[in-house]
Amino acid sequence: MNKLKLIVYSLLVMTATSVIAGEISIDEDYMQVMEDRQKSLSSNISLKKVNAALNDAKSLEESFNDVETFYVHKGKEDAVNWSKESRELAVSIQKYVASNDFDTASQTSVALAKTCKTCHRSYKKDT
């Protein structure tokens, strides 16, 4: 490879990696979507809407995956653990909903709302 090609190649690689690293950004907009999902989930659980509740819990599970990755990059271990905990709760909710155990699903959804608050207490500036 000649020098010019090497430089062009390096630039391409650098651009590509910065785009990947910038893909996940946990900001107010992202959280707002999670908040909407969380509200929708608890109402769908109380209305016993299986498919809608499963969709909400699945979407939260995926969001918490991103939140976890975000904090892994930042090296914030406590936030990583709260993200994991939240994701596991979202997974459990899907199991309870799928087996028509709406009482336990509802309790787990309350527990999930608590982990939101725990992380906010440490990481959200205005609380």
Report, in Å, the least distance between residue 123 CB and ligand HEC: 4
Q: Distance between CA atoms of 57 and 46, rounded to whole angstroms? A: 14
7 or 33: CB nearest ligand HEC: 33
Residue 98's φ and ψ, nearest 5 degrees, are -65, -30
Which of 45/119 has CB closer to ligand HEC? Answer: 119
Note the residues at the interface with ligand HEC (CB under 6 A).
27-28, 31-32, 34-35, 38, 60, 67, 71, 79, 82-83, 86, 112, 115-116, 119-120, 123-124
Which residues, 6 or more positions from 112, have their beta carbon under 8 angstroms from its beta carbon? 38, 60, 86, 89, 90, 93
How far apart (Å, rounded) are the C-alpha atoms in residues 29 and 59? 15
Min dist CB 52 to ligand HEC, Å, is: 17
Minimum CB separation from ligand HEC for residue 102, in Å?
19
Residue 103's nearest CA partner among 60, 37, 42, 56 is 42
For ligand HEC, give the closer residue by CB, 50 or 111.
111
